[in-house]
């Protein structure tokens, strides 16, 4: 008996019992729709949240700091707990000792900076668009009337947020080294106060002086540590306090017991003028830039504002081409390293991959990853609860199918008897019954897919409107995103459950004695 004939007969039999088939299908369709909508909703919601985060550049950035420290298990024999105690307490003590061992290891080999070589290696990581070291330099803007203190920082040419915050002008071309963006407050300080004045600043040339500034805390500290050995101060905050105290003492350097060489070394290290109270740092260089745009530092995007707050992101009054910012930075310091850097990632979905790669290099990456992963986990946990309910519905439906098929054997016993008297094998009856079950699963899942697509299309706009009104945020993309894989899986689950449900009835039908069966005609 051909498979096509088995299927044809199965279709015929199901069609003959339309009401029963319809009831069976209802359970399957309900379960499958719940499964599909949950899968589509989970995927769509997750993507919408990622898109919301991606709308802010900050969510695609990873701020890296040196000093990331990888925990290691101490070597065997390093930790000995020679005491009588419970296993639980022994484990706690072991962890405490291992922590102590790791702490000591970190003190032996501290890291306070990121080298240019390391930045280059980070640039080669997959999904990394750019790596921009933080170079913030104090400077003054020279106007006809005044000299205004400000700061120069790297322009984030990859930042769409910066583009959105432009009040006048535009971002310079990628190769424009003379272009500068001016903060609206600096513009205000420069005398461009009315809204109509701001465009007038665009295209004007401004002169910027930058002076010998204090080296970065980390560099000074490292230099001191290099010359004098470990100072025993590891925490950054403590280092800052240490150096502040140190600079104050520099004013009274002559009264110390240091010899002249040591005093000279210190003065050279800290920078000219700093050791002398009231002294003004020397002008190192004067540069001229052309204003290409005015930007504001406020954030209309709530996600961006959130990240600015978390990561203490400060924008300086002036933003220049990254290479120029780097040149200025390097001209003030012989250090070829940086305290931190920003890694731009293609999309927030690659944050985990890039973060792991950075952690493997012992950096300390900070990003929105933890929040995104937390949200993803929450969505996934909710989805699994709904999946469970949907599977329960499907299981109930399959038990119903099994019951219906067993009942239908009683009704169809004469039919099976006749078929057997005509030469049908046990396997023919078995296949026929299983095919009926499989068809129920297949048709049910097929209907469910169509129904889900319909519900998704109709409910999408309503749900989006509701969510957007509740969150005051515009969501990108669809909240129900149907994927091929879940559809195939639902199809397989549905068919498998229905086939399993039909196995027992099929076996009972196949084993019917034809003589007994035909007597029931």
Partner 1 sequence: MICASQLTRSYRMGHESIDAVAGISLAVPQGDKIAIIGRSGSGKSTLLNLLSGLDRPTSGMLTVNDKRLDQLSRTEMAEYRLKTIGVIFQSFQLIPQRTAFQNVELPLILSGMSPANRREIADEWLSKVGLHPRRNHLPYQLSGGEQQRVAIARALANNPKVILADEPTGNLDSGTASEIMQLLLSLCHDSGATSVIVTHDAQVAERCSERQFRMQDGTLTEVPIDANH
DSSP string covering 22-51, please? HHHHHHHHHHHHHHHHHHHHHHHHHHHHHH
Rule CB under 8 A: is residue 407 a binding residue for partner 1?
Answer: no
Stretch that binds partner 1, among 21-29, 95-103, 171-179, 426-434 (CB under 8 A): 426-434
Task: Verify binding: residue 428, partner 1, rule CB under 8 A.
Answer: yes
The site map against partner 1 for 362-401 (x = CB under 8 A) is ----------------------------------------
Q: Determine if 318 is a binding residue for partner 1 (CB under 8 A).
A: no
Spatial neighbors of 353 by CB under 8 A, at least 6 apart, are 126, 127
Task: Work out which of 264, 374, 425, 465 binds partner 1, going by CB under 8 A.
Answer: 425
**Rounded distance, CA 454 to CA 320, Å?**
52
Q: Which of 351/424 has CB closer to partner 1?
A: 424
Residue count, binding to partner 1 (CB under 8 A): 25
Residue 415 binds partner 1, judged by CB under 8 A: yes
Contact predicate 434/502, CB 8 Å: yes
**Residue 244 in contact with partner 1, rule: CB under 8 A:** no
Answer left, alpha or beta for residue 111, where phi above 0 means left and psi between -120 and 50 means alpha: beta
Beta bridge partners of 29: none
Pick the closer one to partner 1 by CB: 18 or 280.
18
With respect to partner 1, which residue has the nearer C-beta, 1 or 488? Answer: 1
Residue ranges in 422-483 assigned as alpha helix (H): 426-471
Pairing type for strands 179-183 and 283-295 reads parallel
Establish if 414 lies at the interface with partner 1 (CB under 8 A): yes
Instruction: Give the footprint of partner 1 on residues 502-521 (CB under 8 A).
Output: 514-515, 518, 521
Instruction: Write out the two tokens for 135.
Output: 């170079």
x-or-dash string of contact with partner 1, 123-162, rule CB under 8 A: ----------------------------------------
Cα distances (angstroms) measured from residue 483 to each of 44, 218, 400, 459, 463: 10, 50, 29, 17, 19
CA atoms within 13 A on the CB side of 149: 5
What is the smallest separation between the CB atom of 11 and partner 1, expressed in angstroms? 12
Q: Which is nearer to partner 1, 1 or 450 (CB)?
A: 1
> Taking a C-beta distance cutoff of 8 angstroms, is the pair 170, 292 a contact?
yes
Query: Per residue, what are the HEC states of 205-269?
Result: EEEEEEECCCCCHHHHHHHHHHHHCCCCCCCHHHHHHHHHHHHHHHCCHHHCCCCHHHHHHHHHH
Contact flag: residue 427 with partner 1 (CB under 8 A): yes
Per-residue binding letters, 14-53, with partner 1 (x by CB under 8 A) = --x-------------------------------------
Q: How far is the CB of 52 from partner 1 (least distance, A)?
A: 58
Task: Provide, rounded to whole angstroms, the least separation between the CB of residue 21 and partner 1.
Answer: 14
Residues 116, 244, 286, 421: which binds partner 1 (CB under 8 A)? 421
CB-wise, 96 or 515, nearer to partner 1?
A: 515
Stretch that binds partner 1, among 99-107, 283-291, 317-325, 416-424 (CB under 8 A): 416-424
Report how far residue 132's alpha carbon sits from residue 123's, in angstroms, rounded to the nearest whole number: 9
Spatial separation of the C-alpha atoms in residues 110 and 117, rounded to whole Å:
18
* Interaction between residue 419 and partner 1 (CB under 8 A): yes
For binding to partner 1 (CB under 8 A), which residues are involved? 1-2, 5, 9, 12-13, 16, 414-415, 417-428, 514-515, 518, 521
């Amino acid at each position: 008996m051909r498979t096509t004939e088995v299927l044809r007969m199965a279709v015929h039999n199901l069609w003959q019992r339309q009401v029963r088939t319809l009831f069976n299908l209802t359970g399957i369709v309900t379960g499958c729709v719940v499964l599909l909508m949950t899968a589509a909703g989970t995927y769509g919601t997750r993507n919408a949240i990622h898109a919301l985060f991606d709308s802010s550049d900050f969510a695609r950035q990873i701020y890296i700091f040196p000093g990331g420290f990888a925990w290691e298990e101490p070597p065997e024999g390093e930790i000995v707990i020679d005491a009588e105690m419970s296993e639980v307490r022994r484990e706690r003590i072991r962890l405490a000792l291992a922590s102590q061992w790791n702490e000591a290891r970190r003190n032996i080999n501290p890291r306070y900076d990121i080298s240019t070589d390391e930045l280059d290696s980070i640039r080669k990581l997959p999904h990394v668009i750019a790596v921009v070291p933080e170079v913030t330099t104090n400077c003054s803007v020279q106007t006809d009337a005044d000299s205004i203190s400000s700061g120069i920082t790297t322009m984030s040419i990859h930042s769409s947020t910066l583009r959105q915050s432009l009040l006048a002008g535009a971002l310079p071309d990628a190769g424009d080294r003379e272009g500068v963006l001016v903060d609206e407050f600096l513009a205000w300080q420069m005398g461009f106060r009315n809204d109509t004045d701001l465009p007038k600043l665009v295209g004007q040339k401004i002169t910027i002086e930058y002076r010998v500034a204090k080296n970065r805390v980390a560099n000074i500290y490292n230099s001191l540590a290099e010359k004098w050995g470990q100072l025993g101060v590891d925490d950054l905050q403590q280092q800052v306090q240490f150096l502040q105290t140190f600079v104050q003492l520099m004013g009274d350097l002559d009264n110390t017991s240091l010899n002249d060489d040591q005093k000279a070394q210190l003065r050279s290290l800290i920078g000219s003028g700093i050791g002398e109270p009231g002294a003004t740092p020397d002008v190192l260089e004067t540069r001229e830039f052309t204003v290409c745009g005015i930007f504001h530092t406020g954030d209309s995007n709530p996600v961006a504002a959130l990240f600015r707050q978390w990561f203490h992101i400060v924008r300086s009054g002036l933003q220049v081409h990254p290479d120029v910012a780097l040149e200025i930075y390097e001209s003030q310091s012989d250090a070829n390293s940086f305290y931190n850097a920003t890694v731009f990632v293609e999309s927030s979905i690659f944050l985990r991959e890039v973060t792991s790669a950075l952690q493997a290099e012992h950096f300390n990456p900070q990003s929105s990853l933890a929040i995104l992963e937390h949200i993803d986990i929450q969505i996934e946990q909710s989805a699994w609860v709904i999946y469970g309910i949907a599977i329960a519905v499907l299981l109930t439906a399959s038990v119903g199918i099994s019951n219906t098929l067993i009942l239908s054997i009683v009704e169809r016993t004469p039919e099976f008897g006749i078929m057997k008297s005509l030469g049908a094998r046990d396997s023919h009856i078995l296949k026929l019954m299983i095919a009926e079950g499989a068809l129920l699963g297949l048709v049910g899942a097929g209907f469910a897919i169509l129904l889900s697509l319909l519900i998704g299309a109709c409910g999408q706009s309503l749900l989006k409107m509701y969510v957007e009104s509740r969150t005051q945020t515009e969501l990108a993309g669809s909240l129900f995103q149907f994927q091929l894989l879940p559809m195939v899986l639902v199809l397989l689950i549905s068919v498998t459950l229905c086939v399993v449900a039909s196995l027992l009835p099929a076996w009972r039908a196949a084993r019917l004695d034809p003589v007994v069966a035909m007597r029931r005609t």
